[in-house]
Structure 1
Amino acid sequence: MQRRDFMAMSGAAAMALVAMPARASTGQISVVATTGMIADTAARIGGDLVKIRGLMGPGVDPHGYRQTRTDIVAITKADLVLWHGLYLEAQMEDFFHKLGKRGNVVAVAEGLPRDKLLSHPDYDDKFDPHVWMVPTLWADVIPVIRDALSATLPDHAETFAANAESFRTEVLAMGDYAAAATATIPTESRVLVTAHDAFSYFGAAYGFEVMGIQGISTESEAGLNRIGTLVNTLVERRIGAVFVESSVSDRNIRALIEGAAAQGHTVSIGGELFSDAMGTPGTYEGSYLGMIDHNVTTITRALGGEAPAQGVSGKLSAGL
């Protein structure tokens, strides 16, 4: 679908579209969420009481996403808008801040304790937004979404609370699997090379050295010097696997593999990881739990650890 850049609209025309206040009722409410991770979490907490629209589907990069005219229409009709924050939706941040002054808008990750966040190397006073990579961190986002739904539909707060607690239990159990599975990877193999720096929280939580070709934002450019340095690292340390990402071009990863091959070292693609977007809607990998199960299982098996071929749930769509 061709995108129309909302930011090209005049200020008056743009804000006229968002002047409508949020609407609360005792019936089903409409919720717009930016990322799939937020949308899935809101759906698990809201159940049949919410109708969720996710703006960014599989393979969509949130770092460079700009809201379309269709998005604006959906947002103005929504009872609640959920976005991530922490500069993830960088091109939309000003829009959401303005929208928050007029409507029911919540940045779900902005309230996380700062001592749990990793600093952003490219921007002062900002943080790495990829907190969903670690289930124990994402578990702290669940109450924020629960409270936003409860404030919008207060008559069903008890239902939202029960659903949130049930989902939180599942998320923490997935975190236990992540810790146990990755612990089986040999020490010398605990190096995670990916297309961009989306896995720093994952690395910090589970003991990996993480190397991204691009920075935290995919909007940053990967220079020849960076690729050359990583090629030399792959060769010198005999690293045998690198990972592509579903929402990032594999061009730079291919350059790494070719560069290592030119120096006589074979590097293979360990698999495709879900970084900034989940899998296809309706599949297990298209859920938050399935996304994490896939990533943990793929990384563990590719780097010499032990994990079930179809994940801890047995639901992964293909054996890895």
Structure 2
Amino acid sequence: MYRMKSIQVLVLAVLVLLLAACNNTTAEPSSDSGTRTITHLKGEAVIPSKIEKIVVLTAEYIDHLLTIGERPYGVNTEVRYGGDYLPYLAGMLEGVATVGSADNPNLEAIALLEPDVILIESRTAENTYEQLNQIAPTVVLGNEWLDYGDDTSFWTKDLLTIAEMYDKTDVAKQKIAELEQKTAQASEKIKALDNKQLAYLRVRAKALQVYAQKGHPTNVLLYQDLGFEPAALTPEEQRADLSLEKIPELGADFIVLEADPNAGDFLGNMKNSPLWSNIPAVKEGRVHETDSFWLFKGWGVIGRGEIIDEILAWIGE
């Protein structure tokens, strides 16, 4: 009996010590060692359920991360902007490591960051997926624009997948809903305009092109979501070359004019042409000059919101 009581006392003492130890450690955050499996274009990736360091090699996914309140650990640079952050996101990326371009990522720099996850699009995966996947689990996203028909929300697919990686699907859905409300309000103002034919033009080094009604989320935003009417000569699905002689046929009330960095001479000649100056949008001062920002912005909540703000300021709302 005495021996049995001794054992009971010993067990009780051990339990007291264990409880004391637990109480002493509850103030320290416990590490999350769990994982989750993400299905992507290259199969499945097993990633940490709590991502600390993610390297992102495409602009739209940086927008997606920032939309759900997450900050990337490393990002690709944009060659056309001097090898730096994409300008419209630069203020939110200060101090984030840069690891080369999406087309030519710096594998050594990425490895030195010791990321938990690497996030890329299908175009980048064609050449570097195997090398990147050896550094860290690599998730490959991306979709073909025209595969989605009349679904104007197709650009949200990758955002929701990224939100799933962080268990923030609800946050992403809320941000999408807020943007949809903002888009609807802007659409009402645009649809109320008496004249709302829009042409989205791109000036290249030796050519002028007109963007289509579909084929890119920015085009879909302008023509489907916001309700601008396509000006004459606007193709339905693929952008097309446009000769200077054809410019008067546009008849556009509004023109978005995107110019490549090396388009200065062609742009100057076009603007000096009477064919250009006789377009209604030019006569009324309704030409909004931009660069390829809009092509990047059209893929994300932050960027699309900025496009809408620019348009409302442009049309005087």
TM-score band by shorter chain is 0.5 to 0.7
* Structure 2: runs of 5 or more not aligned: 1-44, 87-100, 204-208
Q: CA deviation at 1:145?
A: 0.9
CA distance in 1, matches of 2:73, 2:234: 32
Q: 1:252-279 deviations in whole A, cap 9, x for unaligned?
A: 54443233x367636364232622345x
**What residue number does 1:56 align with?**
77
TM-score (norm 1): 0.54
Contact kept in structure 1, 2:256 and 2:288, CA below 8 Å: yes
Larger Rg: 2
Contact kept in structure 1, 2:57 and 2:102, CA below 8 Å: no
**What residue number does 2:161 align with?**
144
Q: 1:223-271 deviations in whole A, cap 9, x for unaligned?
A: xxx45x2x33432444465434487555354443233x36763636423
Q: Equivalences for 1:171-182 in 2 at 5 Å?
A: 171-182=179-190
CA distance in 2, matches of 1:110, 1:265: 40
TM-score (norm 2): 0.54
Count of matched residue positions in the alignment of Structure 1 and Structure 2: 232
CA distance in 2, matches of 1:106, 1:175: 30
CA distance in 2, matches of 1:110, 1:245: 24
CA distance in 2, matches of 1:40, 1:264: 37
> Equivalent pairs: percent with the same residue?
9
Contact kept in structure 1, 2:59 and 2:296, CA below 8 Å: yes
Q: Equivalences for 1:154-193 in 2 at 5 Å?
A: 157=167, 160-187=168-195, 189-193=197-201
Q: CA deviation at 1:55?
A: 0.9
**CA 1:291/1:112 → structure 2, altered by over 3 Å: closer, same or farther?**
closer
Q: CA deviation at 1:79?
A: 1.9
- Could you tell which deviates more after superposition, 25-34 or 105-114? 105-114
**What residue number does 1:80 align with?**
117
* Structure 1: runs of 5 or more not aligned: 1-21, 119-133, 151-156, 279-286, 308-320
- 2:66 partner amino acid: A
RMSD of aligned alpha carbons: 4.5
Secondary structure of 2:272 counterpart: helix
- 1:294 partner amino acid: E
CA distance in 2, matches of 1:172, 1:256: 37
Which one of the candidate residues 294, 306, 311 is aligned to 1:275? Answer: 294
**CA 1:106/1:54 → structure 2, altered by over 3 Å: closer, same or farther?**
same
Contact kept in structure 2, 1:235 and 1:265, CA below 8 Å: yes
Secondary structure of 1:29 counterpart: coil
Contact kept in structure 1, 2:196 and 2:254, CA below 8 Å: no
Contact kept in structure 1, 2:63 and 2:302, CA below 8 Å: no
Secondary structure of 1:137 counterpart: coil
Which one of the candidate residues 16, 32, 56 is aligned to 2:55? Answer: 32
CA distance in 2, matches of 1:101, 1:299: 41
Q: CA deviation at 1:29?
A: 1.7
